[in-house]
Amino acid sequence: MATTVKSFAPVLGKIVRITELDKCGLPNDAGTPGYVATDGFITLTLSTETEDGNEILVKKANGGICINRKQPDAFKRFTLEIQFCDVHPVLVSWLTNAKQYTNTEGEVIGFTQGDGDIDKKFAFELWTGTDGNACEGGAETSGYVLLPFVNGGTIGDITVNGEDAVEFTISGAYTESGNQWGVGPYNVIREADAPAPLPTALDEDDHLLMITVDEAPPESSNDVVEMPTVGGLGE
């Protein structure tokens, strides 16, 4: 029996949603601030890190090869570089060891950067357009990329000159194993024409998920939004 496969070609980033996680990979409880959705990004670059397998090479006395074998390489993690077109102080404090800076009215107006270990955790979701089948069953489809457990990075080089826009980049973040995402806390697909979380829970050692989804992505607001009660983290 043939297996049905849905292929797709992601094109153009639409929006990202970043969820603050605790050290165990769990987001805040429902009803507390938990995520920011924004279209204010330029690029996401994922780079793969692998561990080279040992190579066993034994030569005979006459110089010929007796044993020539290489162990398989092993995937370790992805590293991230995210370039934004504006500065969002809350996101900076979630993605790096920067701290939010508030005015006398308690409004977050910027951030401070000090020394210390980088021990911030977050989940990263990205929606893209798709080339080909724009709709499925009457619903618009999107490419969906999920990095369920990411350790924070650093604020990259900030370049200011008189001609170009200021470049603001977060680099050095990396994915970790041991995610607790499960099917996730959000509705990202549609089942029986109703919003639903992921159909299958992620394994704890999954670093990346890339699929098509037919539920509309969240709206870009740049506000910090409370965690919903849908979904099943860790399930």
- Residue owning tokens 């030569």: 59
61: three-class secondary structure by DSSP: coil
The token pair at 147 is 């990095």
Q: What is residue 234's predicted lDDT score, i.e. its pLDDT?
A: 46
The token pair at 63 is 């110089």
pLDDT digits (tens, 9 = 90+) for 72-113: 999 999 999 998 888 888 889 899 999 989 999 988 888 998
Looking at the DSSP assignment, which residues form a beta bridge with residue 20? 122
Average pLDDT estimate for 118-123: 90
- Residue owning tokens 């350790």: 151
Looking at the DSSP assignment, which residues form a beta bridge with residue 83? 43, 169
Q: Distance (Å, rounded) from C-alpha 13 to C-alpha 129?
A: 7
Q: What is residue 235's predicted lDDT score, i.e. its pLDDT?
A: 47
Q: Distance (Å, rounded) from C-alpha 114 to C-alpha 127?
A: 32
* C-alpha distances in Å from residue 227, one per residue of 171, 187, 200, 204: 26, 12, 21, 22
95: three-class secondary structure by DSSP: helix
Q: E strands within 71-119?
A: 74-84, 99-102, 108-112
127: three-class secondary structure by DSSP: strand
Q: Which residue has the higher pLDDT, 213 or 12?
A: 213
Q: What is residue 40's predicted lDDT score, i.e. its pLDDT?
A: 87
Percent of the chain with pLDDT over 90: 46
Is residue 202 within 8 Å of 234, Cβ to Cβ? Answer: no
Q: What is the mean pLDDT of the chain?
A: 85
pTM for the full predicted model: 0.85
Q: Distance (Å, rounded) from C-alpha 198 to C-alpha 125?
A: 13
Q: Distance (Å, rounded) from C-alpha 93 to C-alpha 107?
A: 14
Instruction: Assess whether pLDDT exceeds 60 at residue 46.
Output: yes
